[in-house]
Amino acid sequence: MGCAGNILTLRDELTGALVRVTADTVVNATGAWLDRSAAVLGGVGPRVMGTKGSHLVLDHPALRDALDGRMAYFEAVDGRVCIVYPFLDRVLVGSTDIPVEDPDQIVTEPAEVDYLIDVLREVFPNMAFGRNDVVYTYVGVRPLARSDADKPGQISRDHSVVVDPPNATRDIPIVGLVGGKWTTFRSLSEEATNEVLQQLGRSRTASTELLPIGGGADLPADAAAIERFVEKMTTASGMGHARAQSLLHRYGSKALPLAQRLAASGDVPLQHAPDYSAAELSYLCLETGVVHLDDLVIRRTLLAIRGLVTDAALAEIAGVAAEALGWDTARAHNELRTCATALRERHNVRLQAVAPDAEPSFEASSMASPAFGQS
Ligand SMILES: Cc1cc2nc3c(=O)[nH]c(=O)nc-3n(C[C@H](O)[C@H](O)[C@H](O)COP(=O)(O)OP(=O)(O)OC[C@H]3O[C@@H](n4cnc5c(N)ncnc54)[C@H](O)[C@@H]3O)c2cc1C
């Protein structure tokens, strides 16, 4: 909302509440929204330009088998670099590269789906591809450094750290992150931290360069260590081998305490999404900052991106989330409707449209199913 002196006024987008905080510096890591955020804080701009990129997730066993674990990386006829690779039990295809003005107004256009399908037809001429193979789409905006390049593909993908010094109304600097990749997020963080330290006139006293984080800490490194870890999980929890492997794959070394927690509360597969249990979804709701149903369905689980969300599965998951997060019926209906709309309209998931005045049904998970195979 703004900065005066060293006081920032922020609005909590969930509650609408205004909060005031004091700061010695601000790090602006808002990606494609960097210029908008900088403008609110009286910063300099424009510095970024967004290009949107859409990806398709295909249920195409023949292509997946043909790829056999390999990624195909190639130039399409229009010069755009595309990738195709096996993603879990699906195939991921990407991506488009289209300049956009407003990062809030982006969707995967039908023409982008057709473009990527045409690219596949060109590269794999002996296989058939169609829109029916697409089980999920997603789109994001790359926060690229502003450039005069003629084609989006020519814009540099490098990142940089920029500083807006204090001005007449703001006493503190803004450190902005321009560009960046998933794969380089730690080195960019280090560069940003170095800049913040310099702005504060302090020196680094600790480095996290070699520090494993999250489920990567204490992660078993080779096949034998993985097997020992899985055995430890099955012994500690009584859960089956396949389920333990799947949790290790999802949560890294955090899977061990999680397995014990799930076993204690009854790790029963959901009826309509049997890769997950109600206990696992409750854990995600309670421990990973889930606020809305789409946080859980789209961003905390692999259900949506694998194209596994059906109307029945969504209703069942909504029931679990409602119980875990204490939603009343009206809230649960609202969450279900909003999530279904997002999946249908933004991710091309084939769900039924719910009329605005209809009450979508949601259900608590069935506890009648047998638990995941016991060890
Ligand atoms: C199509 C596509 C393909 C990509 N491919 C690759 C790849 O192959 N390999 C790779 O390593 N990287 C890839 N990337 C890059 C990567 O996904 C990220 O886009 C990049 O790392 C930028 O991340 P970020 O955190 O800076 O920005 P974002 O991920 O966009 O995060 C910015 C966040 O700031 C929030 N925000 C905005 N305004 C405000 C505000 N006022 N207050 C609070 N929050 C706000 C936004 O909601 C958003 O969550 C790709 C990106 C796209 C879009």
Ligand 1, residue 55: give the atom nearest the CA: 1
pTM of the model: 0.91
Q: Residue 172 C-alpha to ligand 1 middle, in angstroms?
A: 25
Q: Which residue has the higher pLDDT, 322 or 149?
A: 322
How far apart CA 264 and CA 235 sit, in angstroms, is: 13
State the pLDDT at residue 364: 55
Mutate which of 28, 51, 102, 142 for ligand 1? The one with the most ligand atoms within 8 Å of its CB, which is 142
State the pLDDT at residue 374: 58
Tens digit of each residue's pLDDT (9 = 90 or more) over 154-195: 888 889 999 999 999 999 999 999 998 999 999 999 999 999
Atom 3 in ligand 1: residue holding the nearest Cα: 53
Cβ contact 153:166 at 8 Å:
no
How far apart CA 136 and CA 54 sit, in angstroms, is: 11
Q: What is the mean pLDDT of residues 343-351?
A: 95
Q: Residue 107 C-alpha to ligand 1 middle, in angstroms?
A: 15
What's the Cα-to-Cα distance from 264 to each of 268, 341, 370, rounded to whole Å? 11, 35, 15
Ligand 1, residue 51: give the atom nearest the CA: 53
How far apart CA 123 and CA 226 sit, in angstroms, is: 37
Residue 84 burial by Cβ neighbours in a 10 Å radius (0-12, 13-18, 19+): buried
* Cα-based torsion angle of the residue sequence 87, 92, 95, 100 in order, rounded to the nearest 10 degrees: -80
Atom 26 in ligand 1: residue holding the nearest Cα: 31
Atom 18 in ligand 1: residue holding the nearest Cα: 181
Ligand 1, residue 95: give the atom nearest the CA: 1
State the pLDDT at residue 152: 81
Q: What is the mean pLDDT of residues 327-340?
A: 96
Q: Which protein residues are within 6 Å of ligand 1, measured from CB?
A: 29-33, 37, 53, 95, 140-143, 177, 180-183
For residue 359, pLDDT beyond 80 = no
- State how beta strands 174-178 and 160-164 pair: antiparallel
DSSP 168-215: SSB-S-EEEEES--STTHHHHHHHHHHHHHHHHT-------TT---GG
CA 176 remoteness from chain centre:
22
How far apart CA 276 and CA 285 sit, in angstroms, is: 13
Cβ contact 166:188 at 8 Å:
no
The CATH fold assigned to 222-347 is: Helicase, Ruva Protein; domain 3 (1.10.8)
Q: How confident is the model at residue 369 (pLDDT cuts 50, 70, 90)?
A: low
For residue 368, pLDDT beyond 60 = no
Q: Residue 147 C-alpha to ligand 1 middle, in angstroms?
A: 18
Atom 35 in ligand 1: residue holding the nearest Cα: 30
Extents of the domains making up the chain: 49-145, 222-347
Which class does domain 49-145 fall in?
A: alpha beta
For residue 362, pLDDT beyond 70 = no
Same fold, 49-145 and 222-347: no
* Cα-based torsion angle of the residue sequence 209, 210, 213, 219 in order, rounded to the nearest 10 degrees: 160
Mutate which of 21, 33, 160 for ligand 1? The one with the most ligand atoms within 8 Å of its CB, which is 33
Ligand 1, residue 31: give the atom nearest the CA: 27
Omega before 86 cis (within 30°)?
Answer: no
Tokens at residue 144, please? 């690229």
Cβ contact 14:3 at 8 Å:
no
The chain-wide mean pLDDT, for the chain, equals 93
